């Protein structure tokens, strides 16, 4: 069934199709429509879930942690300050190996107050142990939501689905809502390996001494490594049922490319247009979209980028005192590529706080990357310096 809907409602429908059992959420712009729609779905019976209307994002995540530990499928959504407020509990969810799924609508952090998109909220949670999946279209948002539950429950790690504020959250696109029977085949009811059960009592999250703590973290890291294998399998299983696949990264017109753009989120769609236009005038240019940021698809990215002369990474985020975060991680991934195959990497910081990234902005980046002798610095600020 195809419907025209905003990205936020694509999340809600993904949650509905996934038969989530407990939702706990708190409103924040620009996420709010996700949980408003879920409230309606719970009220009118389309989704027979328990919806806990908590007093903060902090308690939203805490209640999801409790429900997930009881063995059921749980969901919440947030943005920016709300996600930052959850920070401690993101560690509890991941360290507790709880397959919670959360949507984060990428919104810039205050101050100054700003409700528009950038990625600093989700990237600030990089090291909490959550799988992070960035989306480009509303269809991808719906598909990723359903996939996220299967991935989370197979790996026992929480998953964050990430979509750009307004460019996706409030923008309408047609979305094919996969039939319930197909989703049910793809995603059966959660069967928790470990749960709070009075007939089989165990303690969870107790004190762990130095002689065992590292092994716990090792298992978490192994689960992240497994995710590099399992995420594409889940994507393929969904693709076999629906025809829609995304991959951990996507290579777009990368064959024989001399210059490659690296993007994430909705900037990718704009960049595709630029690539198409330049290709039609004979330029050897392509695009690599990073969908999965954690675990970082190092090997895939290395093979996609090695051989190009120049790579321009577009970062709608900044790690103050360092550079754009995707650029830094991509640079790190390329370090093991032999020098003769290693492209020169240009990092561009742009679009912070929702500033438009138009085709002409990307055109300027392409021209500059092609013409510059070398990157002056790790990060060049588009619209400020360029």
Partner 1 sequence: MSQTIIKDLMPKDELLASGHLACPGCAAPVAMNLVLKALGPQTVVTLPACCWSIIAGPWPQSSLRVPLFHTAFETGGAVASGIKAGLAARGDTETTVIAWAGDGGTFDIGLQALSGAAERNEDIIYFCYDNEAYMNTGIQRSSATPWGAWTTTTPTGEPEATPKKDMVSILAAHGIPYIATASVAYPVDLVEKVKRARTIRGTRFIHILAPCPPGWKTQNDETIDLARQAVQTRVFPLFEVENGRNWRLTVDHADEPVAPYIRRQARFKHLTDEQVERIQADVDDRWERLQRRIDCGT
Distance CA 34, CA 124 (A): 22
Where on the phi/psi map is residue 221: left (φ > 0), alpha (ψ -120 to 50), or beta? Answer: alpha
Give Cα 50 to chain centroid, integer Å: 26
Nearer to partner 1, 100 or 183 (CB): 100
Where on the phi/psi map is residue 330: left (φ > 0), alpha (ψ -120 to 50), or beta? Answer: alpha
As measured in angstroms, the least distance from the Cβ of 205 to partner 1 is 4
Nearer to partner 1, 199 or 281 (CB): 199
Nearer to partner 1, 62 or 287 (CB): 62
Distance CA 334, CA 142 (A): 32
Nearer to partner 1, 72 or 277 (CB): 72
**Strands 344-349 and 380-381, bridge-based pairing:** parallel
As measured in angstroms, the least distance from the Cβ of 271 to partner 1 is 41
Q: How far apart are the first and last CA of the chain?
A: 45
Q: How many CA atoms lie within 13 A of 22 on its CB side?
A: 21
Nearer to partner 1, 2 or 202 (CB): 202
As measured in angstroms, the least distance from the Cβ of 59 to partner 1 is 4
Both structure tokens of 258: 């001399």
CA quadruple 215, 217, 221, 223: dihedral positive or negative? positive
Nearer to partner 1, 22 or 362 (CB): 22
As measured in angstroms, the least distance from the Cβ of 42 to partner 1 is 12
Distance CA 125, CA 146 (A): 22
Nearer to partner 1, 194 or 252 (CB): 194
Both structure tokens of 348: 């561009």
Distance CA 280, CA 284 (A): 10
The C-alpha torsion from 174 through 77 and 268 to 331, rounded to 10°, is -160
3-state secondary structure of 108: coil
Nearer to partner 1, 195 or 302 (CB): 195
Distance CA 34, CA 263 (A): 25
Distance CA 22, CA 19 (A): 9
174, with CB counted inside 10 A (0-12, 13-18, 19+), is: exposed
As measured in angstroms, the least distance from the Cβ of 35 to partner 1 is 15
Binding site for partner 1 (CB under 8 A): 21-22, 24, 49-50, 52-56, 58-60, 62-72, 74, 88-89, 92, 196-198, 201-209, 212
Tokens 């197909």 — which residue? 182
Give Cα 199 to chain centroid, integer Å: 38
């Amino acid at each position: 069934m195809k419907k025209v809907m905003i990205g936020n409602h694509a999340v809600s429908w993904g949650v509905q199709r996934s038969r989530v059992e407990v939702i706990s959420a708190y409103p924040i712009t620009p996420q709010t429509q996700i949980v408003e729609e879920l409230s309606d779905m719970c009220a009118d019976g389309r989704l027979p879930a328990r919806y806990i209307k908590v007093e903060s994002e902090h308690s939203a995540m805490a209640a999801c942690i409790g429900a997930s530990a009881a063995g059921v499928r749980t969901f919440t959504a947030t943005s920016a300050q709300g996600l930052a407020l959850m920070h401690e509990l993101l560690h509890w969810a991941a360290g507790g190996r709880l397959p919670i799924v959360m949507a984060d609508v990428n919104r810039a952090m205050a101050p100054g107050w700003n409700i528009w998109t950038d990625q600093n909220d989700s990237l600030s949670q990089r090291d909490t142990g959550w799988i992070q999946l960035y989306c480009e279209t509303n269809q991808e948002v719906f598909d990723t939501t359903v996939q996220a539950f299967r991935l989370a429950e197979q790996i026992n790690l929480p998953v964050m689905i990430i979509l750009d504020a307004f460019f996706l959250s409030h923008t309408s696109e047609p979305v094919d809502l996969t039939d319930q029977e197909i989703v049910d085949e793809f995603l059966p009811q959660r069967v928790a390996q470990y749960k709070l059960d009075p007939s089989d009592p165990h303690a969870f999250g107790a004190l762990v001494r130095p002689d065992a703590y590292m092994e716990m973290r090792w298992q978490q890291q192994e689960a992240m490594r497994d995710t590099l294998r399992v995420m594409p399998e889940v994507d393929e299983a969904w693709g076999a049922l629906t025809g829609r696949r995304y991959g951990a990264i996507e290579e777009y017109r990368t064959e024989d490319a001399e210059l490659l753009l690296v993007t994430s989120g909705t900037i990718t769609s704009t960049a595709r247009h630029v690539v198409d236009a330049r290709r039609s005038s004979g330029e050897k240019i392509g695009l690599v979209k990073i969908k999965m940021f954690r675990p970082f698809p190092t090997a895939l990215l290395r093979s996609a980028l090695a051989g190009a002369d120049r790579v321009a990474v577009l970062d709608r985020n900044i790690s103050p005192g360092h550079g754009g975060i995707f650029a830094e991680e991509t640079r790190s991934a390329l370090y093991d590529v032999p020098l003769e195959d290693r492209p020169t990497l240009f990092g561009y910081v742009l679009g912070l706080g929702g500033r438009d990234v138009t085709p002409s902005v990307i055109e300027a980046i392409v021209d500059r990357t092609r013409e510059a002798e070398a990157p002056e610095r790790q990060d060049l600020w588009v619209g400020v310096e360029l």
